[in-house]
Structure 1
């Protein structure tokens, strides 16, 4: 029960900060996707079931908060959490390189999957401006925040057994 309360509090607090505070700090609408970092870290550290579950709830909350096409963030975050969770048994969880590599790949995958879903829904997608003005700055911010968030998720997942 405690675990559910901790995860719910973390996700609710993160969506509040990501929706209200980060747009005031970061310019041009490009900001870190902290929910994506949490989804990737939970998948890497706890497996695909946790990655999909956290991805679902994070995506639903982000869909509600953004006002965009409902389900877009949910599907992309669930898929990203599942793929991150596939690597759970194959990685050294205490590595400092792991979060950086994982969030780099996950940011690209999440963005490509969202653009593919938009194309499937019949929306026009311009890849070069999206890459230049949205994906690359967001990737830089995600890399900046990934190590501290990965450490936080490690402590939530494994408790005080941390050597991190």
Structure 2
């Protein structure tokens, strides 16, 4: 799964699931950010170059699909991918805590970047309300999905080299 085509398939399927299926399952507009979890896994497992590329296309597709401020998801996801990619050589990739901790940090980091960008663009931001109503519930869902997605990306990147 080291090919660009393989990553494109993962991103397109994930975006379709996130945009079409997840809103049917999760209520009040709060759902896991599958693309963010994939970007974190790509950064931790494949390095920052791969993570930035995956993040660029994931954010771009999410911007096209969402109808929000164009470029907001692309910039925030690229920053998250770069940060996750910096840790690639410094972490034990088979650790079960790695995807959980990285997803927690990435969810808050992504939210902070998006709020800062919206503020700079002149939008009224209420960080406390957004944190309680969107970020924390989304964080819970992200934690539920991060381990299976991390394992999937691990197997696609490295094959079956370990017992992970």
Class of the TM-score when normalised by the shorter of the 2 chains:
over 0.9
Aligned to 1:115: 115
Aligned to 1:73: 73
Aligned to 2:24: 24
Q: CA RMSD in A?
A: 1.1
**After TM superposition, where is structure 1 displaced by more than 4 Å over at least 4 residues in a row?**
none
Q: Deviations over 1:88-144 (max 9, x none)?
A: 010000000000000000000000000000001011000111000000000000000
**Gapped regions of structure 1 (runs ≥ 5):** none
Q: When the two structures are superposed, what TM-score results if normalisation uses the length of structure 1?
A: 0.98
Task: Find the aligned partners of 2:158 and 2:78 in 1 and give their Cα distance.
Answer: 22
Q: Displacement of 1:41 after TM fit?
A: 0.4
Q: Displacement of 1:5 after TM fit?
A: 1.9
SS in 2 for 1:160: coil
Task: Find the aligned partners of 1:2 and 1:105 in 2 and give their Cα distance.
Answer: 26
Does residue 94 (structure 1) correspond to residue 97 (structure 2)? The answer is no
SS in 2 for 1:95: coil
CA contact (8 A) 2:38 2:149 kept: yes
Q: Displacement of 1:4 after TM fit?
A: 1.8
Task: Find the aligned partners of 2:103 and 2:114 in 1 and give their Cα distance.
Answer: 16
1:1-164 pair list within 5 angstroms:
3-164=3-164
Task: Find the aligned partners of 1:80 and 1:163 in 2 and give their Cα distance.
Answer: 28
